[in-house]
Structure 1
């Protein structure tokens, strides 16, 4: 049964022994992050890797407040969050949806009806505000102050306090489709915060769409082109001409931010879904139950009704403010840059709300397990576009966008390079800095095995591919912001058709009967 709210999820964690309550007084300024960082790195290399979820119950300066951290921080908890015994179960459900068995007769068609009805039940539904727990307290006007909540500062050189686990809701101005994304938010004061939606993110595109519409109405194509070049651009990119800024200023895009939802809804905010697919629907699919939504008080958006905290407001188009630095999941600080500003118009929350947060930094951390879940769940969709892929691995040290290990079923010369370029053309995978491609008999989840193949199977000049293109905003080594080089390594066996005319050696393996006999003896030896 789907978790209705963060509180239900918390009870399950507690009952399963996956939650540690921290009763000592801890400050949200650095101290919580340090404890959560230690927890996330505990048990490394063991079945208990990732440490427990943490509920801070004695928050310095915030009497009665509670802060939840590391809720997704292990394989076991990611499985619990999505209510499966293995993340591959969800991949299997996706496989069934994208590759359904064609019905051969009326009976087979009738058998498909329950599945179709089930999918129809995943679409979000809107409920009355009187039944929405997130409306228990409604704050307007001078009562609006996000600093009433224990917003964290996670690293010493951070530019301030940051909301680190927000579900940011925006809407496409043309189609009306909603997007739920996770973008950190630097809190400037009680009523304003930075919106770190990077240029390639859906929310940034929503803002640019709104700007284009305003500029086009005001003066036509020239201004629209200027907006396309500038938009929500970060430093190092084109900025909008002043006359365009003047025309756009005063126009607003509504935004809602939710903190503390059921785990599937929070997780759905980080999945690299196509813009056409709403995250609320993805959450419904993961929960196998529709997400209940409720209308906001001051903006025309819907938010999860069982959320802990809802921030309502708007971004004034064309307004940018310095955001950062921020200690990021790369293990380095992201430097200051210019980003839009959220102005709060209303806050609603549950009585005694639980503030959900995370800390990012040198892996492994909580986001390591979230990324691994994305990897397993969306592998079938990747195979849909690139069918020769057998498996992928996003190692923790690759921080999602620096390294991808890929095994393929090779059937023609140059196929590894084809796969590299296909990945670079696939949604958020375009940011992957390094791709290593191996043959299907290599287990890409065994990083040591991949390194052995890569070290032995390549002639560097022949097998390394360089290309230019968009890179992640967090890539501090790229020659320009958001633009730089990428590398692909073809570590597959080389064919004559690829210019390798000598015999390729076989890898060493023992015969099965020898291994079986050794297995029987080994058990009696008692050697671990």
Structure 2
């Protein structure tokens, strides 16, 4: 059973204490009251990470421009996923020697699966069910009069005197290549100018000055891009709030590919099992998380664009400089000694790719099974090396004629910029194991019969594309009965496993399949001959 969450309040790196929940809260007691997340704010969650030894505090001076991200990056290039943790830097400086009244946390949501599960206040095996419940049962947010996010309110000259956006220790993500610090874990809050429906999404922002942040949307299908286009057609500016540092559920919902018009706030509530508390902005007609660390309010002119980037992208390459919209900041509210959260993204694998992997796999599985009525679909797996946008494997159990193709086309159609290569495999193929997938592609697929190329896809951070992309759909499911797999039958492998253990040999991590089984093309005579071969009377 997970350890209890301490609620006396987490001391911030500067010694101040955060507001607390009343009483003692554990994962178990929270669930008993219908609440799946006991975290009242980011700081309570960080306390739990530290208790579980999933967070490292760094108190020596660390330069946010040259040292911070490279230090965290090392674990993604040199440690297995299970060994990766969050880092909390409480003595941050910049290249000029400036010190900041605040701290930086990185890797706090998805440095590893253990970190991700802790962020959801779930056991690892409960993560998929938690997502299914949240997507199927969103919980609307609840307004409150005020919250910790308004401990400090900056507008007008006080905003500029404080340094504004530049007053917080936003790291440089790819030192040596990035031209400026970027806000890498921002939750951009906007409302549909026509319907009033909220969107909360993660779109990186280049720090351009004390009162200006760039907005990079990647593709015109992003929901904030749709809001901007509606504002442009109406001849108005779009109000926005950039939230930095909130409870994990807000971050997870913001990263998810949720259908247009569905509120990420409500999905966050579904993940938590209770409503998210929100407060009205100081200068914008928008609700923001009441316990956020920082809220940056402003407006975006949909007709105004400025140079943005380059930036290290999840493709593993530097993204090009683009012309992008800009947020003009009206106000900043924040907690005292705020915790600046940053996502480590860029070259995969990373925190952002693991967040996307878990989120996308669950939303695509739900889409294919429920919205598309393909009951044969068992799993959808994305690959971090393909940013979780490019390479999908769909596992199906005993698909009826046409279902594998249906799943391939449907997955390609869910999002115009996702699914460059999609492969359908049978239930005995492990979609997480590329050796298993290659086995299926080699012997259950014929290129002329089973491969389709779909033009007209939207390129996404893909340097190989030239204006337009396409999708490669591969049906690597068996189309007819096959002979058995060429491994000893299960009874013999299980007996061998007992002997292995008896001999004290090293523990095994068995890959599927690890024993032989029939696949339809095997006669009674074949079975008799095999039985006779092992019989003592043969």
Instruction: Provide the TM-score with structure 1 as the length reference.
Output: 0.82
Alignment of 1:12-91 (within 5 A): 12-44=48-80, 48-49=82-83, 51-60=84-93, 61-71=98-108, 72-86=110-124, 88-91=126-129
Quote how far apart the aligned CAs of 1:400 are.
1.1
Quote how far apart the aligned CAs of 1:18 are.
0.9
Quote how far apart the aligned CAs of 1:345 are.
0.4
Tell me whether 1:191 sits opposite 2:191 in the alignment: no
Name the residue aligned to 1:404.
392
1:437 aligned residue (421, 424, 433): 424
Aligned mates of 1:461, 1:189 — CA distance in 2: 55
Aligned partners of 2:412 and 2:471 also within 8 Å: no
Greater relative contact order (Cα 8 A, min sep 6): structure 1 or 2?
A: 1
Name the residue aligned to 1:227.
none
Alignment of 1:320-399 (within 5 A): 320-378=305-363, 379-386=365-372, 387=374, 388-399=376-387
Aligned mates of 2:120, 2:134 — CA distance in 1: 18
Pairs aligned (count):
456
Aligned partners of 2:172 and 2:182 also within 8 Å: yes
Tell me whether 1:127 sits opposite 2:137 in the alignment: no
2:441 aligned residue (454, 467, 492): 454
Aligned mates of 1:208, 1:97 — CA distance in 2: 27
Q: 1:88 to 1:488 in 2, by over 3 A?
A: farther
2:232 aligned residue (211, 221, 233): 211
1:167 aligned residue (171, 187, 194): 187
Name the residue aligned to 2:457.
470
Aligned partners of 1:458 and 1:491 also within 8 Å: yes
- Report Cα offsets for 1:457-490 as digits up to 9, x if no partner: 222233221111232431121121xx21111112
Quote how far apart the aligned CAs of 1:203 are.
0.5
Aligned partners of 2:65 and 2:171 also within 8 Å: yes
2:171 aligned residue (115, 131, 152): 152
Tell me whether 1:488 sits opposite 2:508 in the alignment: no
Name the residue aligned to 1:140.
155
Quote how far apart the aligned CAs of 1:97 are.
8.1
Quote how far apart the aligned CAs of 1:427 are.
3.5
Quote how far apart the aligned CAs of 1:160 are.
1.6
Q: 1:87 to 1:303 in 2, by over 3 A?
A: farther
Aligned mates of 1:210, 1:96 — CA distance in 2: 30
Q: 1:504 to 1:521 in 2, by over 3 A?
A: closer
Indicate the SS of the match to 1:319. Answer: coil
Quote how far apart the aligned CAs of 1:56 are.
0.7
Q: Give ranges in structure 2 of 5+ residues lacking alignment.
A: 1-29, 31-37, 507-538
Indicate the SS of the match to 2:495. Answer: helix
Name the residue aligned to 1:200.
221
Q: 1:411 to 1:366 in 2, by over 3 A?
A: closer
Instruction: Provide the TM-score with structure 2 as the length reference.
Output: 0.81
Name the residue aligned to 1:522.
500
Q: Give ranges in structure 1 of 5+ residues lacking alignment.
A: 99-118, 215-250, 496-502
Quote how far apart the aligned CAs of 1:95 are.
6.4
1:277 aligned residue (259, 262, 274): 262
Aligned mates of 1:92, 1:310 — CA distance in 2: 28
